[in-house]
Amino acid sequence: MKYITLLFFFFISSCAFVPLYSIPNSDAKWIHKVTGEEVPDSLYSQCARDATFSILGRYAYLDRLDKEYLDELVNIQKKEGKCLYEKGFIFKTKLFSAYCYRLEDVCNAYKEFSR
């Protein structure tokens, strides 16, 4: 009985053991409300850069770890999500995806832009 109980709890918590690299990119993405097309990389990059600049007053450092950027990441993601949403895109995740379970902070930042 002890092993069955242990196996049951292991089975329930198995999403915690899913490595981040094994979550497919298609589990969560920005798509256009009307056409269903994915956001172009150029637009995504533009919104990300604009959001970073508006929060930090500068662009993120690409050559080293940027602590200030990481501290403000949730606010930057919210601003980025607002930019994409205003351009007609929504954040969509698959129903039974491990994406929001493992990357909860990203999903919380984007959840208001999912409809």
Q: What is the domain range of residue 99? A: 26-113
pLDDT confidence of residue 92: 83
Residue 82 lies in a domain: yes
Angle formed at CA 108 by CA 17 and CA 98, multiple of 5 degrees: 25
72 within a domain of the structure (yes/no): yes
Query: Does 46 reside within a domain?
Result: yes
Residues whose CB falls within 8 Å of the CB of residue 91, separated by 6 or more in sequence, listed in order? 28, 29, 30, 81, 84, 110, 111, 113, 114
107 falls within a domain: yes
> Is residue 88 included in any domain, yes or no?
yes
> Is 10 part of any domain?
no
Q: Is residue 64 part of a domain?
A: yes
Domain count across the chain: 1
Q: How confident is the model at residue 23 (pLDDT cuts 50, 70, 90)?
A: very low
Cα distances from 8 to residues 3, 12, 82, 97, 101, in angstroms, run: 8, 6, 41, 20, 19
Give the three-state DSSP class for 1: coil
Tell me if 59 is assigned to some domain: yes
Q: What confidence tens digit (pLDDT) does each residue in 91-114 have?
A: 887 655 555 655 666 666 767 777
pLDDT digits (tens, 9 = 90+) for 76-88: 999 999 999 999 9
pLDDT at residue number 112: 73
